Amino acid sequence: MMNLSIIIIGDEILIGQVTDTNSGAIARTFGPMGWEIAGVHTVPDDADAIRDAVCAALERSQLVICTGGLGPTKDDITKRVLCGIFGGPMVRDEAVTENIRRVFALRGLQMNELTAAQADVPQSCSVIQNRLGTAPIMWFERDGRVLVSMPGVPFETEGMLPEVAARVGRFFGSDDHLMHRCLMVGSVTESALAQRLASIEDAIPPQLHLAYLPTPGLIRLRLDGRGTDKAALESQMEHAVAQLKAAIGANLRYDGDATAAQIAIEACRRAGLTMGSAESCTGGTIASRITAVAGCSDVFLGTVVSYSNAVKQNLLDVGASTLEEHGAVSREVVTQMACGARRALGCDCAVATSGIAGPGGGTPQKPVGTVWIAAATPERVVTRELNLPGNRARVIDRAATEALLLLVETLG
Amino acid sequence: MMNLSIIIIGDEILIGQVTDTNSGAIARTFGPMGWEIAGVHTVPDDADAIRDAVCAALERSQLVICTGGLGPTKDDITKRVLCGIFGGPMVRDEAVTENIRRVFALRGLQMNELTAAQADVPQSCSVIQNRLGTAPIMWFERDGRVLVSMPGVPFETEGMLPEVAARVGRFFGSDDHLMHRCLMVGSVTESALAQRLASIEDAIPPQLHLAYLPTPGLIRLRLDGRGTDKAALESQMEHAVAQLKAAIGANLRYDGDATAAQIAIEACRRAGLTMGSAESCTGGTIASRITAVAGCSDVFLGTVVSYSNAVKQNLLDVGASTLEEHGAVSREVVTQMACGARRALGCDCAVATSGIAGPGGGTPQKPVGTVWIAAATPERVVTRELNLPGNRARVIDRAATEALLLLVETLG
């Protein structure tokens, strides 16, 4: 199996100011293409450190991808180090200059000498034009191995990865076909699911590989296939997916790769229904997850975050006596919230949450992590009590996922 | 300067399933203690890879911290590899057994043989009891160098870092006092701020170090001090902070380290006012950021996410003719949204957003990234037009920050 080393360059990542997400994006692109990830090395903006990491990676791996250190400021030295390793002079690249001018014009800025210098590239590389920014993507080859230098800005790296991956695919010219399928599974623990799927997993042919990718509240099952005979592989994949789906049964939330918010939007869209939310303990997280999905506005109308009881009463028509009698964290209140959201927002369906996210506010009867969720459709209201582990952020995150999935379940 | 190497162990991180945040937490703890971060190496759950990374790190660094690979499943092999490197047998540790029993009881679970084996530790280490989980923290020493093995669960690692840092401080026995101060700065670019602070920065004594940590919409200025004379250091810090504050002037948003949401909550609390939000393009992100802050409920009452125009009209009293005449993304609509939120939610202050987050919906007059924000207080309404770069997630993120900071500015 060929392997890939990733090098992340930048003081800002090393000192913990910025969290690296590029290595994950690269791994998620190349892993399914059959590349084993040998390691990720994060190094400072220091010529010696970069040189050592690059040389060690080129020893170990057929493919090396590094990100960062390509900006116009003096800290960014990747380009000079790579020029030293692969030899030859730096040359001003006209196509890169043109691209920088274009990007600057889009942003309404004038090019200056500092940015013009971004068009200097080692003669030893070929350039992949960066459509999303000014730093050129550089492709180096030596003894059948490849090093690709990409920008540090995640938006640019993620956006340009498909083009880089396509060129890598052509260069290493494998005849293998790659396929993958995802199934999203809810309301079951990873270990219980693994037990249920054990016999299927054992019988899966060696060309296929099943992976469990659990997130709070939703397990992503990913089946990867790789082989030279496309038709045979397709039929093996289909067979395995059918077996998995039969065993997953009612816990299947989506055939495909999607977040809980995407699954809920899709379920509403399929049913021709609009949706909204009434959020207390999740505090707008459900709305924010839904609106992170571009194009959600045909389905999603809005949300009332009713953090205070007055807002629950005034905007969602929750009864004062209900609050008094059962408390805000109760089946009764969350039911009224969901119904109130349908009326107030004019949507067909609504999810609602009320709970104790902590760290304060817990009682012996309702400890931190107690959350009531509801899903209301034109036909019915379904509620569920959750007892969630972890800190405030985890409780909110998990409650938001569970509420969205409860709506999906309720819509059937 | 002594240096620290960090090793992150785990297939799930390497394949991009989970984003590593432990290395950042470790760097942010040890950096201010005077440790240079030599590098972060992420390696698979593979004995050879772990051994190579640990040995290389012990060559390079006085202190090595690794996280991960300590769970009870067969993939988790860090402990056995470390036992091999530092020598001696594995022994069952009674205090660790007791700790596992305690953690399991807290979670309402019974201990089984698989988890009991977590209490086996190399005789060559001393254990730091993990109060937050079952995997023991192991401290190894050799030739004056230290390796600490911590769990992979971020909640446990972050929670236990202060104790590990304290022991590292005692072991390497520095007499130095460490201090840091943060200033949060808004409405100015990093380069413009750097120019304004250049002369102060040049004159800062060598015991102090100033760092710029920009996030979209808010720059965190961090001043670190280190010295043997505590009183002298304190006075130098005070002097530098005073100079910085004078130069930052009206761009100072907070004296301390805080998120935009925390700053807004604090500003309202100081003014004795409650707040809420009316969100269109930010879609609940402002609410979700505010409610991520524990204890926000004395200030924050609620939010209306008015994604559809009908919700803007029905819940926020935005005029149909205003929407018709000016469009949803306009000064007029965002003003009415902010005022409508104050009425609907019964809060003293409100922020509002309406914009085009993209990728669709842009026009030549109002391209993607056009966002109107408003902040309403009992005294006045202030609006601002933003033209934000980047993709949907970045536009939403930045607009939420700018709206929160506009309220802080407006409250003075």
The b-or-e profile of A208-239 (16+ CB within 10 A means b, else e) is bebbbbbebbbbbbbbbbbbeeeeebeebbee
Query: Which is it for strands B218-227 and B177-186: parallel, antiparallel or unpaired?
Result: antiparallel
Instruction: Give B-chain residues touching A279 at CB under 8 angstroms.
Output: 284, 287
Q: Which candidate from B21, B276, B357 shows the least CB-CB separation from A19?
A: B21
Asked if pLDDT for residue A339 goes beyond 70, the answer is yes
Beta-bridge partners for B308: none
| Residue A21's pLDDT band (cuts 50, 70, 90) | very high
Question: Residues A56, B52: contact at Cβ < 8 Å?
Answer: no
Q: Which residues pair with A177 in a beta bridge?
A: A227
* Other beta carbons within 10 Å of A52: 15
Contact A295 B16 (CB under 8 A): no
Inform me whether the C-beta atom of residue A221 falls under 8 Å from chain B C-beta atoms. Answer: no
> Mean pLDDT across the stretch A374-381?
98
Q: What pLDDT does B74 receive?
A: 58
> Do residues A366 and A326 lie in contact, with contact meaning Cβ atoms separated by under 8 Å?
no
Question: Which chain A residues in 289-308 lie under 8 Å from chain B, judged by CB atoms?
Answer: 290-292, 294-297, 300-308
Are A308 and B301 a contacting pair at CB < 8 A? Answer: yes
Residue of A nearest to B396 (CA): A292
* CB contact residues (below 8 A), chain A span 121-160, against chain B: 155
Q: Is the peptide bond before A359 cis (omega within 30 degrees of 0)?
A: yes
Give the number of A-B residue pairs with CB atoms closer than 8 Å.
227
Confidence (pLDDT) at A254: 95
pLDDT value for B211: 83
Peptide bond into B359 cis (omega under 30): yes
Q: Which two tokens stand for residue B138?
A: 């192991």
Sequential DSSP letters for B245-306:
HHHHGGGEEEESS--HHHHHHHHHHHHT--EEEEESTTTTHHHHHHHTSTTGGGTEEEEEEE
Question: Are residues B211 and B221 in contact, defined by beta-carbon separation less than 8 angstroms?
Answer: yes
d(CA A337, CA A324): 15
CB contact under 8 A, B284 and A295: no
Per-residue pLDDT at A75 exceeds 70: no
Q: Closest to B16 (Cβ–Cβ): which among A24, A286, A300?
A: A24
The rounded distance, in Å, linking the Cα atoms of B335 and B350 is 10
**Helices (H) and strands (E) in chain B — how many of each?**
15, 17
Task: Report helix, strand or coil for B182.
Answer: strand
- Tell me which residue has tokens 């692969």: A86
**CA-CA distances (angstroms) from residue A258 to A128, A254, A266, B24, B72?**
30, 8, 10, 28, 30
Degrees (nearest 5) of the Cα angle A333, A338, A340?
A: 90
Instruction: Point out the residue among B16, B288, B302 whose CB comes nearest to the CB of A31.
Output: B16
The set of residues, in sequence order, having a beta carbon less than 8 Å from that of A73 and lying 6+ positions away, is A114
Length of chain B: 412
What's the pLDDT tens digit per position in B313-332? Answer: 999 999 999 999 999 999 99
Range A168-178 average pLDDT: 84
Of the residues A7, A11, A54, A303, the best mutation for testing chain B's interface (the one with the most B CB atoms within 10 Å of its CB) is A303
Per-residue pLDDT averaged across B75-84, rounded? 88
Mean pLDDT throughout B407-412? 94
CATH number of A260-411: 3.90.950.20
C-alpha B190/C-alpha A118 separation (Å) is 20
**Residue A222's closest CA among A241, A207, A195?**
A241
B118 touches chain A (CB under 8 A): no
Q: What is the pLDDT of residue A73?
A: 66
| pLDDT attached to residue B407 | 97
User: Angle, nearest 10°, between helix axes A309-316 and A331-345?
Assistant: 50
Quick one: A195 exposed, middle or buried, by C-beta within 10 A (0-12, 13-18, 19+)?
A: exposed
Q: Could you tell me which CATH number the domain at B177-255 has?
A: 3.30.70.2860
> Under an 8 A CB cutoff, do B40 and A37 touch?
no
Residue pLDDT, tens place only, B96-152: 999 888 887 776 667 777 677 888 999 999 999 998 888 899 999 999 999 999 999
Contacts of A208 (CB under 8 A, 6+ apart): A223, A224, A225, A236, A237, A240
Q: How many angstroms separate the CA atoms of A44 and B364, rounded?
A: 42
Q: Give A288's contacts in chain B (Cβ within 8 Å).
A: 282-285, 287-288, 396
pLDDT band at B75 (very low <50, low <70, confident <90, very high): low
What Cα–Cα distance (Å) separates residue B324 from each residue in A213, B47, B282, B368? 47, 66, 21, 20
What would the pLDDT profile of A284-332 be if each residue is shown by its tens digit? 999 999 999 999 999 999 999 999 999 999 999 999 999 999 999 999 9
Which of residues 352 through 391 in chain A touch B, CB cutoff 8 A? 357-360, 389-391
In chain A, what residues touch B403 (CB-CB under 8 Å)?
none
B16 to A39: CB separation less than 8 angstroms, yes or no: no
Tens digit of each residue's pLDDT (9 = 90 or more) over A87-122 = 999 999 999 999 888 887 776 667 777 677 888 999
pLDDT at position A83? 95
Mean predicted lDDT score pLDDT of chain A:
92
- Considering only CB atoms, which chain A residues are within 8 Å of B358? 294
| Residue A111: predicted pLDDT | 72
pLDDT tops 70 at residue A344: yes
Element (H or E) spanning B89, and its range?
none
Instruction: Fill in the amino acid letter for A143.
Output: D
* Residue A105 at interface with chain B, using a CB cutoff of 8 Å: no
Q: What is the mean pLDDT of chain B?
A: 92
Give per-residue pLDDT as tens, B240-272. Answer: 999 999 999 999 999 999 999 999 999 999 999
A17 reaches B (C-beta below 8 A):
yes
Give residue for tokens 């809920």.
A264
Q: What is the pLDDT of residues B154-182, one digit of tens each?
A: 889 999 999 999 999 999 987 778 888 99
Measured between beta carbons, which residues in chain B are less than 8 angstroms from residue A33?
none
Q: Which sequence spans correspond to the domains of chain A?
A: 2-172, 177-255, 260-411
% of chain A surpassing 70 pLDDT = 98
pLDDT for the residue B107: 67
Q: Which of A40-44, A389-393, B211-215, B378-382 has the lowest mean pLDDT?
A: B211-215
Mean pLDDT of B63-70: 93
- Chain B interface includes A271 (CB < 8 A): no
Contact B88, B122 (CB under 8 A): yes
CB contacts of B315 in chain A (<8 Å) are 302, 304, 315, 344-345
Q: What is the 3-state secondary structure (H, E, C) of A169-212?
A: HHHHCCCCEEEEEEEEEECCCHHHHHHHHHHHHHHCCCCEEEEE
CATH class of the structural domain A2-172: alpha beta
In the numeric block, which tokens belong to residue B168?
A: 């590292």
Q: Does any CB of chain B come closer than 8 Å to the CB of residue A110?
A: no
Min mean pLDDT across A333-337, A391-395, B51-55, B296-300 is at A391-395
Closest residue on chain A to B22 (Cα): A16
Indicate the residue of A14, A107, A302 with minimum beta-carbon distance to B305.
A302
For residue A30, what is the enclosing H or E element? Answer: helix A22-30
Residues B341-363 have pLDDT tens digits of 999 999 999 999 999 999 999 99
Task: Check CB contact of B189 with chain A, cutoff 8 Å.
Answer: no
pLDDT confidence tier of residue B214, bands split at 50, 70 and 90: confident
Closest partner residue to A307 among B282, B302, B359, by Cβ?
A: B302
Q: How far is B267 from chain A (nearest CA, A)?
A: 19
DSSP classification of residue B348? S
Cβ contact B310–A346 (<8 Å): yes
Q: Which of B77, B78, B91, B88 is nearest to B121 (CA)?
A: B91
Distance CA A385, CA A389 (A): 13
